[in-house]
Amino acid sequence: MEHSIIKKAIDKGLLTFNLVDIRNFSDDKHKSVDDEPYGGGAGMVMKPEPIVAAIRSIESEFGTCHKVLLSPRGSLFNNTKAIELSKNRNIILICGRYEGVDERVHLHYVDSIISIGDYIVTGGEIPALAVIEAVSRFVPDVVGKEESVERDSFSSNMLCYPQYTRPRNFEEHDVPEVLLNGNHKLIEEWRKKEALKTTKKYRPDLLNE
């Protein structure tokens, strides 16, 4: 969060972030936030008390927040979800860990559950950063050119068209002639066709959707 577009947005006052240490809300001397699962089994489960106490503390300071739990069971995060989340003034991202989070948190204390993919990572911190990056792009004025966001991959259920820059010829591979002729109508038509071809080649599932 101290680099690039996110850093600039923070400096402009467009975004603010607060990192909350869940252990500060533990109710025992060891600051533990997890315990063994009822019924036995491997691993540890995050306890509900510290999570709920943290949520209530945050909302008492900032007002009502949209509460998101990052978990493998969540709905798959995508561009549409990023746009939805960007419309919330305050968002809490709860980073799951260990063997998971007490079921009562899932059922009673969060507004949505999100997964960034069908694989497991150690904790929810990297997924949280991915969500932050994606959602921030839809906050007005965070990205310099709004057109950049509108033309991003997935904005129309297709991947972005191929992009080229200098040099015009690189190791006998040329930039397509259509991009060099200055005819914007032809360029726009070419880009639409190429976006379709690229999506069909790499992500045909998007076209099925």
Q: Active-site positions?
A: 72, 99, 137, 152
Residues in Cβ contact with 100 at an 8 Å cutoff, skipping those fewer than 6 apart = 43, 45, 46, 71
Q: Which helix (H) or strand (E) holds 62?
A: helix 48-62
Are 110 and 59 in contact by the 8 Å Cβ rule? The answer is no
Q: Which helix (H) or strand (E) holds 48?
A: helix 48-62
Length of the chain: 209
Residue 50: other Cβ atoms inside 10 A = 21
Q: What is the 3-state secondary structure (H, E, C) of 118-166?
A: CCCCCECHHHHHHHHHHHHCCCCCCCCCHHHHHCCCCCCCCCCCCCCCC
Is residue 167 reached through a cis peptide bond, with omega within 30 degrees of 0 on the bond before it? yes
Are 3 and 136 in contact by the 8 Å Cβ rule? The answer is no
As a whole number of Å, the CA-based R_g of the chain is: 22
